[in-house]
Amino acid sequence: MFGGGSFTSQNKVLPGSYINFVSAARAAAAVSDRGIVAVPLTLSWGPEKTAFEVTAEDFQKNCMAIFGYPYEAPELLPLREVFRYAVKGVFYRLVAGTKAANNYATARYGGVRGNAIKIVVAKNVDDESKYDVKTYLDSKLVDEQTVATASGLKDNDYVIFKKDSTLATTAGIALAGGADGETPTGTEHSEFLAAMESHTFHVLCCPVTDESTKALYVAYTKRLRDEAGVKFQTVMFQKAADYEGVISVENETEELAHGLVYWTAGAEAACAVNKTNENRTYDGEYTVKADYTQTQLSEGIKAGKFMFHKVGNEIRVLMDINTLTHYTDEKSEDFSSNQTIRVLDQIGNDIASMFNDRYLGKVPNDDAGRVSLWNDIVTYGNKLAGIRAIEAVTADNITVEKGQNKRSVTVSFPVEPINCMSQLYMTVVVQ
């Protein structure tokens, strides 16, 4: 991993990109796509204690093989919420369960879901020296093979066949003994977070309610954002972190107290840099508790809470904000807007990627090299301005200069993020 993060002085050791975001005193890089969410899972099927990526298309087409349940199953409700907007998920099953088995096969993954698998063996109607071996999940046929002996069976998405078994006609033998693991603790969540350090994502989903685990996610977010330069936001439930990298969902749902964390994580990850989730209609499946007075909504916003409220018969996002509530000269109130953070994170990630790919160890640190970097940054800034994510860039205000040693360059890139309209103040003059 390259070095990265913020800097106080030019004293870094590792090669990399060190970028500070501060509020201005009140006086050929591409804009990368968004939509990736990192999510820890406690399901009863799927790869265990390892990170795996699933696109929205894969989820819709292959969720049975990947997660063990059909798309519409209640067990997959949290994932349907994530993929309401997310384009890709980086998933990690926190706890390994016990694998179900019978005389012919062992479930590919541990967990109680393996007990729903059944193996049916029948004589092949065209060749009685062979057997038709069928794998069922619930009542759905998911695999069928014709073989002479068990040694010819090929493992499928659901079972690992016992190649030394003796095939015999059976109406169906269910796998048994499958069990879920223990409730995940901070240790399992720490392992998940460590695994995520080698993956790219825009939002980290923290679907927990205990304060100690939430504190772990906050510390992880601060460390990676501020020290490693990895720019993302973490969505969690009712956590006053006072930090621009943490979004705190306030509302509960009837079905699951912290259920809205999943929808919010997907919506925040997929939200473009020139857009906002403010006033977005909640279109998920949970029943949202949103009975607030105007005073409660106002106080919630001041406290940095991401809240949903009723507008007629709809549930909508009140304001697209994070938990930052104490402002400084370096981090003004602007930093509490998630749209502002999306713009700044996009700049940090894209410029760092461009520098690491095109300049680090490749381009001499001379006038020509620095002019090339300046041109790329100006071009990138103009692209952001073109999609109305930032105000128009003044090229003369962007500087790329030699740093304090022969290997370093210092960049000043003033930007003014644009936020979508939120408030209307109008005076109607009656003639």
Residues 350-367 have pLDDT tens digits of 888 888 888 888 888 888
pLDDT higher than 90, residue 16? no
Encoded tokens for 59: 């989820």
The rounded distance, in Å, linking the Cα atoms of 249 and 3 is 32
* β-strand pairing of 16-18 with 3-5: parallel
Interval 220-227 mean pLDDT: 95
pLDDT of residue 9: 52
pLDDT of residue 22: 53
> Do 36-94+182-317 and 105-174 have matching folds?
no
Interval 200-221 mean pLDDT: 97
pLDDT of residue 241: 97
Q: What pLDDT band is residue 283 in, cutting at 50, 70 and 90? A: very high
pLDDT of residue 389: 76
pLDDT of residue 273: 87
pLDDT higher than 60, residue 39? yes
Beta strands across the sheet bearing 117-123: 140-147, 131-137, 117-123, 170-174
**pTM assigned to the model:** 0.86
Report the alpha-carbon angle 70-235-30, nearest 5: 90
Q: What pLDDT band is residue 26 in, cutting at 50, 70 and 90? A: very low
Q: What is the pLDDT of residues 377-414, one digit of tens each?
A: 888 888 888 878 777 888 888 888 888 888 888 888 88
Q: SS3 for the chain, per residue?
A: CCEEECCCCCCCCCCEEECCCCCCCCCCCCCCCCCEEEEEECCCCCCECCEEEEEHHHHHHHHHHHHCCCCCCHHHHHHHHHCCCCCEEEEEECCCCECCECCCEEECCCCHHHHHEEEEEEECCCCCCCEEEEEEECCEEEEEEEECCHHHCCCCCCEEECCCCCCCCEEEEECECCECCCCCCHHHHHHHHHHHCCCCCCEEECCCCCHHHHHHHHHHHHHHHHCCCCCCEEEEECCCCCCCCEEEECCCECCCCCCHHHHHHHHHHHCCCCCCCCCCECCCCCCECCCCCHHHHHHHHHCCEECEEEECCEEEECCCECCCCCCCCCCCHHHHEHHHHHHHHHHHHHHHHHHHHHCCCCCCCCHHHHHHHHHHHHHHHHHHHHCCCECCCCHHHCEEEECCCCCCEEEECCCCECCCCCCCCCCCCCC
pLDDT higher than 60, residue 15? no
Amino acid at 52: F
* β-strand pairing of 246-249 with 233-237: parallel
Q: What pLDDT band is residue 27 in, cutting at 50, 70 and 90? A: very low
Domain positions in the chain: 3-30+327-412, 36-94+182-317, 105-174
pLDDT higher than 60, residue 160? yes
Q: What is the pLDDT of residues 227-279, one digit of tens each?
A: 988 899 999 999 999 999 999 999 999 999 999 999 999 999 999 888 999 99
pLDDT higher than 90, residue 29? no
Higher pLDDT, 161 or 334: 161
- Cα–Cα distance list, 398 to 195, 216, 379 (Å): 37, 38, 11
Q: What is the pLDDT of residues 75-125, one digit of tens each?
A: 999 999 999 999 999 999 999 999 999 999 999 999 999 999 999 999 999
CATH 3.30.1490.450 fits 36-94+182-317, yes or no: yes
406 closest CA partner among 366, 367, 372: 366
Note the CATH architecture for domain 105-174: Sandwich (2.60)
Q: Which residues contact 45 (CB under 8 A, 6 or more apart)?
A: 67, 68, 69, 109, 111, 113, 114
pLDDT of residue 25: 41
Report yes or no: 82 and 89 within 8 Å, Cβ to Cβ. Answer: yes
